[in-house]
Structure 1
Amino acid sequence: MPKSNQTMSLHTRLVQSIMALSTIILLGASISIIYMVDKKGDAAIASETRAWANILAKNSTPFLESDHDISQVKLKEELKKLITSPMINHIHVYRLNDDGSIEYFTSYNKNHSFPAISNKIAQISQLTDIKYQNDHLELIVKITQGQQTLGYLFIQSSLLEQHKFIRKLTYFTLAFLFLSLLLAFALSQWLFKTTSQPMVKLIDDIGKISKSRNYQTQLARQPYKELDILTKSINLLLLRTDKHISNFVEDHQHTQSQKQALEDRLSARTDALKESNQELLSTLEKLHEFQDQLVETEKMASLGDMVAGIAHEVNTPIGLGVTASSLLADKLTEIKTAFENKTLKSSQLKKFLNDGDENIAIIFRNLERAAKLISSFKKVAVDQSSAESRTFNVRGLVDEVLLTLSAKLQSAKVAVSVTCPDKLYINSKPGPINQILINLILNSIYHAFDGLEHGTITINIMNLSDQLHINYSDDGIGIDESIKNKIFDPFTTTKRGRGGSGLGMHLVFNLVTQALGGHIVLDEEQEQGVSFDITFPVELAAS
């Protein structure tokens, strides 16, 4: 059940909008001001620190040039006199020796609450630029005399005062933001109160008109331009509604007068339609009978195709057998004549025996091939005409079908690839399966490979969860898009008038769904050729 749209009062929307807009503007402005003040304060402290560092470095030069030990003490006293800024926490002075080493010279601490810190000699290269820490910043500058570097001066300045100022500014900003929001809330309440009274009156008037259904009533003019335009539009809508209702009443009366006449005409046409339906039912019964006859004819036609193929296939080995037997009879006559005339030679007899063995082998192979073809055809014909269940080998059934259709496959230059377990025995109806495979293969030969030099048919069979899955596909010209959705309908063919009955795939569909209780699906995403997935229940039997 769909959720109903939740409505919001104008008062709530107005208050929320003003408060949200005010909050965004004030919060954005406050954050920007605090951020700029913080950055500017940090920059000022950094500039002042660098200035102090340069001044103290310049004043430390004479002390570093002196070699007296008292210079360290004097420099420390000098630093205490010079440093007047409360932001400086620590000063370290390092001297650069002649051998390039750097040693601690003297230092300055702000007071006793600031204990001495470790030297920064190892960080001289890192602190040539100002580095910010949590509550202080650090810098090291060179102490030079002309072009000569005498040492380095480390300075640490406090950021605590800056942080205190930022915190005070933040508290002040929050208080200002809170007061501003209170003022915005009061302003939104006042705006709504001054604008809502005409709207409430307008809503009451519309409610009274809706309750009384007196759509000829007109609303009074409003003090605000937007509400006045809305009032004029509602008045126009009320006039049109009243006119529409009047027209509807007239139309209803006219409709009632026509309804009786229509019912009389409908009753007469219903009687005529009943007679027509009875005629259609009888015609439909005749069509079903005719369709069943055509399906049986299609079965016999496919059997006739197999008979023609088998006859052609059997004719070749029998012809070879007759030729070999005739040749053997001629050789036997020559040997018999030579024996009676007592001119028979051992070499002649030996040649006769060799040729006899070869001819007998030819006769045996061809007769065996003919017998195998006839046996296969008998099994296929029996299965095709029978719908009874029995246990059989699936691979053997497929091989028998391919053997009976070998002549047509060879003449059409079609190769068949079969993937099926050799020891797959099932208990099912071989007749419908036989007929399904024959119709699919003949359909591929007559339609898929029409006009092609060669083609390939692929049959993949497997048993899964008491279901036999058959995937039949070919790489032919495929099925036209216009008939894909009705490929299993009766009389659907692209060769109407050229030998196509349109019942082949309809027969396959009926055999799969009715005789075997399964289903067949055409893969419509196949890019080349066609692919059918056939599935039906079977009972797995022991091999």
Structure 2
Amino acid sequence: MPKTHKISSIRRSILITVLGFVFVFISLAIFYISSTFLKESKQQYKQNIIDLGNYVAQLSVEDIRTNKLNNLNNKLDNFKSLSSIHYIDVYKKYPENFGIFASYNFKMGGSISKNTTRITSQEKTLYASPYFEDDIVKYVAPIEFNREEIGYVYIQLDINSGLTFSTRLFIIFIVTFLVLLASVIFISFRLENLITTPLRELNADILHISQTKDYSLRVKPMPFKEIDILARNINNLLNRTERHITKLDVAEQQSLLLNIELEDKVNKRTEALKDSNQELLSTLEKLHQFQGQLVESEKMASLGDMVAGVAHEVNTPIGLGVTASTLLSDRLNDIKKSFDDKTLKSSQLKRFLNEGQENVGIIYRNLNRAAELISSFKKVAVDQSNEDFRQFNFDELLKEVLLTLAPQIRNTPYQINITCPEDLLVVSKPGPINQVLINLILNSIIHGFDNRDHGTIDITVMKLGEQLNISFADDGHGIDVTIKDKIFEPFTTTKRGEGGSGLGLHLVYNLVTQALGGSIRLDSEPDKGATFEINFPISEQLL
């Protein structure tokens, strides 16, 4: 979606620009003037209170020395005309401390008792230079006689009267700003009217041309040079547009003729494509049927290999059991004959019992081994034929798979390492999982370790939330880059003509994605082995 362009008026832009400039200029000027004035006023108040303090100190020296309190109070009364003075305290040095000798509060009236204090010694030190506190300035001036401090003067002034000039300054600023604002607004409207009037006329001409679609019309000349140049350029655009429309009309007529011809050709080719598509659909249907048959054949071939392997594996313990039972039968016949002939010796009977016990143990162990093999094969066979969900131990499933593949991997130099929690219970379809693991192991042995005298397969299983992750990795030849991207497609094999159908990994892909509802990903580089990452949903209990 195209970004919306924000549009503003010329009047508003002019007004904001000029008004903003004037406001900033006046604000900076007033700020500078006010800061300078207030700074100088503050400095003046400092000097005034220092002068006043020194003056009162000079007036008080003789009265403090002669202890003339009334005379000093009369002198202090002369400052009543100064309304900015709150009070003046004259302190005298007594033997124990400094106390007020004379004082008069010019704001409230009245005096303070003798030998009291209004400020502490810490405040006296603080007020040794003029100290401003809100609208009050405080100052302490020493009273000395012959370079000895005999007292001090504490003065407090109200500087509130200094705010009158600030108020007038603020009023002047407001009035000046309003006058300038009115002037700016008037000038802005005047400029806007001079600029926008020709633009409105130009806009009206263009709107009329657009509504009538008569591109032979032209806009009239404008009074200002810049806008007149714009009008001329618009007229040039209208000239080109008129010529272009004429060419388009001619081209449209030609296009209509071509469209009629093309329509005839398209109709003919559409009929031909329909026939070709029908043939392709029939061929594709046959190909799908053939592919399904090949996949089923691959499953049966894999099952046949397992049956042959298990049969071979079962024959060994059964053969050992038959041999042991035959030997036991021969020894039993010898004992029976000796017993009938009454030539049976105790040593012969003891040897028979020992050998019989050993042979019975051999028979039991091998028959039990055959029973375990058959039971494991039955579980695998049932799992491969049953696609229902059930709860099972995944570690036991892996052991059953290795037991089933024992004939194929026993006499090989390859090693299979399994990492799986022994108590991992999941709810899934064991049959497709069996088939996937068997196909991956055989694929590594046949293709990954081809013409190699060593190889390692690592199978790692872990539970990730409601997903089961199986990492199947070998250190074989890896998968060639030419077939890596289509390795899961049917009929992809490196042993075509050598018994490879190219359906093994295709079957694995279908089982993982369709039967288990999961995903499989391949990561492989030449001579660095191959890794299959399998993920599919599981549950810890039946729903």
TM-score, length-normalised on structure 1?
A: 0.73
Distance 1:215 1:143 in 2: 101
Relative to structure 1, the CA distance from residue 63 to residue 454 in structure 2 (aligned partners, 3 Å threshold; closer, same or farther) is farther
Letter in 2 for 1:170: F
User: 1:243 Cα shift?
Assistant: 1.5
Q: Over residues 470-491 of structure 1, what are the superposed CA-to-partner deviations in whole Å (9 max), with x where a residue is unaligned?
A: 3333466899999998776545
Letter in 2 for 1:240: R
Letter in 1 for 2:86: N
User: 1:376 Cα shift?
Assistant: 0.9
Letter in 2 for 1:540: L
Q: Does 1:521 align with 2:519?
A: yes
User: 1:295 Cα shift?
Assistant: 1.5
Checking the alignment, whether the CA contact within 8 Å between 1:22 and 1:181 is kept in structure 2 is: no
Distance 1:330 1:112 in 2: 142
Could you say which residue in structure 2 is the equivalent of 1:535?
537
| SS of residue matched to 2:134 | coil
Could you say which residue in structure 2 is the equivalent of 1:21?
17
Residue of structure 1 aligned with 2:86, choices 72, 84, 89: 89
Residue of structure 1 aligned with 2:470, choices 466, 469, 472: 472
Relative to structure 1, the CA distance from residue 367 to residue 189 in structure 2 (aligned partners, 3 Å threshold; closer, same or farther) is same
| SS of residue matched to 2:220 | coil
Percent identity between the two aligned chains: 38
Which runs of no fewer than 5 residues in structure 1 stay unpaired?
none
User: 1:380 Cα shift?
Assistant: 0.8
Distance 1:179 1:360 in 2: 125
Distance 2:58 2:248 in 1: 108
Residue of structure 1 aligned with 2:418, choices 415, 419, 422: 415
Give the number of the structure whose alpha-carbon radius of gyration is greater: 2
Q: Does 1:244 align with 2:234?
A: no
Relative to structure 1, the CA distance from residue 31 to residue 198 in structure 2 (aligned partners, 3 Å threshold; closer, same or farther) is closer
Q: Does 1:70 align with 2:67?
A: yes
Checking the alignment, whether the CA contact within 8 Å between 2:512 and 2:520 is kept in structure 1 is: no
Letter in 2 for 1:521: S
Checking the alignment, whether the CA contact within 8 Å between 2:53 and 2:155 is kept in structure 1 is: no
| SS of residue matched to 2:240 | helix
| SS of residue matched to 1:218 | coil
The residue correspondences of 1:219-258 to structure 2 (distance < 5 A) are: 219-258=219-258
Checking the alignment, whether the CA contact within 8 Å between 2:459 and 2:472 is kept in structure 1 is: yes
Letter in 2 for 1:230: L
Checking the alignment, whether the CA contact within 8 Å between 1:448 and 1:529 is kept in structure 2 is: no
Letter in 2 for 1:46: K
Residue of structure 2 aligned with 1:457, choices 439, 460, 464: 460
Could you say which residue in structure 1 is the equivalent of 2:275?
275
Could you say which residue in structure 2 is the equivalent of 1:36?
32
Relative to structure 1, the CA distance from residue 140 to residue 267 in structure 2 (aligned partners, 3 Å threshold; closer, same or farther) is same
Distance 1:349 1:178 in 2: 133
User: 1:32 Cα shift?
Assistant: 3.3
Letter in 1 for 2:385: S
Checking the alignment, whether the CA contact within 8 Å between 2:456 and 2:474 is kept in structure 1 is: no
Between 42-51 and 272-281, report the one with greater CA deviation.
42-51
**Size of the alignment, in residue pairs?**
521
Could you say which residue in structure 2 is the equivalent of 1:216?
216
User: 1:365 Cα shift?
Assistant: 4.5
Distance 2:513 2:535 in 1: 13
Relative to structure 1, the CA distance from residue 437 to residue 220 in structure 2 (aligned partners, 3 Å threshold; closer, same or farther) is same
Relative to structure 1, the CA distance from residue 258 to residue 324 in structure 2 (aligned partners, 3 Å threshold; closer, same or farther) is same
Q: Over residues 426-480 of structure 1, what are the superposed CA-to-partner deviations in whole Å (9 max), with x where a residue is unaligned?
A: 6x86534543454466667778999974524214388x7xxxx533334668999
Checking the alignment, whether the CA contact within 8 Å between 2:19 and 2:184 is kept in structure 1 is: no
Q: Over residues 385-425 of structure 1, what are the superposed CA-to-partner deviations in whole Å (9 max), with x where a residue is unaligned?
A: 345x4866454656533543467788333213147655x6x
Between 177-186 and 144-153, report the one with greater CA deviation.
144-153
| SS of residue matched to 2:379 | helix
Distance 2:313 2:148 in 1: 113
User: 1:213 Cα shift?
Assistant: 3.0
Could you say which residue in structure 2 is the equivalent of 1:261?
261
Q: Over residues 289-337 of structure 1, what are the superposed CA-to-partner deviations in whole Å (9 max), with x where a residue is unaligned?
A: 221123123323543564576568668877987999999999999999x
Letter in 2 for 1:182: A
Between 248-257 and 105-114, report the one with greater CA deviation.
105-114
Letter in 2 for 1:296: E
Relative to structure 1, the CA distance from residue 178 to residue 57 in structure 2 (aligned partners, 3 Å threshold; closer, same or farther) is closer
Between 139-148 and 451-460, report the one with greater CA deviation.
139-148
User: 1:180 Cα shift?
Assistant: 1.9
Which runs of no fewer than 5 residues in structure 2 stay unpaired?
524-529
Relative to structure 1, the CA distance from residue 114 to residue 211 in structure 2 (aligned partners, 3 Å threshold; closer, same or farther) is farther
Relative to structure 1, the CA distance from residue 158 to residue 498 in structure 2 (aligned partners, 3 Å threshold; closer, same or farther) is farther
Q: Over residues 68-99 of structure 1, what are the superposed CA-to-partner deviations in whole Å (9 max), with x where a residue is unaligned?
A: 58266666655565798654434445567787
Relative to structure 1, the CA distance from residue 325 to residue 113 in structure 2 (aligned partners, 3 Å threshold; closer, same or farther) is farther
The residue correspondences of 1:141-160 to structure 2 (distance < 5 A) are: 153-160=153-160
Q: Over residues 365-384 of structure 1, what are the superposed CA-to-partner deviations in whole Å (9 max), with x where a residue is unaligned?
A: 45434432331122212331
RMSD: 5.3
User: 1:118 Cα shift?
Assistant: 4.6
